[in-house]
Amino acid sequence: MLSAIVEDYLKAIYYLQNETDGRVRTSALAEYMDVEQSTVTSMMKKLSERNFVHYEPYQGVKLTDTGVPIALEIIRHHRLLERYLTDHLEYDWAEVHDEADRLEHHISSQFADRIAEQLEDPAVDPHGDPIPTADLDVSGAKYEDTLADHQVGDSVRIERVPDKDPALLRYLSEHGIHPGTVVDVVETTSFGMVTLDPDSGDEPVALPDEVARSVSTRSLTKGAN
């Protein structure tokens, strides 16, 4: 019915419209999908034709009520697969993304349901991203702040890390940073660096601001300054 490519476009639009909180621009999609803008334009016309998106020339696109559940279904597949690969097939969390990104389009919903059952309906994937339920509810796990939003001295719990960069994931895991890890913010600099001290006893870790902004957190205690 739907090609893997079409599904990937819908998923990309879903992500981007939740980030920018509005219409998704052709340029943003082209960058995200790693194709030329003209390719995006022609694809948007087709998706619009099929009623998956609202498309206004020169103004960007937005998923329709038909498009959203398709995107969510694929995201459910993706995150369940990541969870399954790490929990049952000994994958490292840095390896799962690519495998899940292919398989998400080819497993049946029966397959998804079976692995969900074996995993006992997990709420989040290995990177802390919420897994939509079987009826595509995604209300759980809205992360508000990030590592970049805290003050020196704050104690915070890591909730979610970006899942697409294996090098970053390996770096984080080498320094004991996972969803669930509690860290103290020990330093922030004017030139864009955040230093964390994990409660686990691991050595302090330094992260550039851009990374810090992509790591979701929950505030535990405010620092005493």
Question: Residues interacting with a copy of itself, by CB under 8 A?
Answer: 85, 88-91, 95, 99, 102-103, 105-108, 110-111, 114-115, 118
6 binds, among DNA, a copy of itself, Mn ion, none (CB under 5 to 8 A by kind): DNA
CB nearer to DNA: give 9 or 84: 9
- Say how many residues touch DNA, by CB under 7 A: 24
Residue nearest to Mn ion (CB): 163
Burial of 109 (0-12, 13-18, 19+ CB in 10 A): exposed
Please say whether the beta carbons of 145 and 127 come within 8 A. Answer: no
| CA-to-CA dists, residue 124 to 33, 45, 110, 185, angstroms | 24, 34, 20, 25
Task: Return d(Cα 208, Cα 214) in angstroms, integer.
Answer: 10
**Which one of 32, 35, 54, 162 is in contact with DNA (CB under 7 A)?**
35
Residues from 53 through 82 that contact DNA (CB under 7 A): 55, 57-58, 60
89 binds, among DNA, Mn ion, a copy of itself, none (CB under 5 to 8 A by kind): a copy of itself
| 32 in contact with DNA (CB under 7 A) | no
Beta strand extents in 3-116 (DSSP E only): 53-56, 60-63
Rg (CA), the chain: 19
Please say whether the beta carbons of 194 and 177 come within 8 A. Answer: no
What does the binding site for DNA look like in residue numbers (CB under 7 A)? 3, 5-6, 25-27, 33-46, 55, 57-58, 60
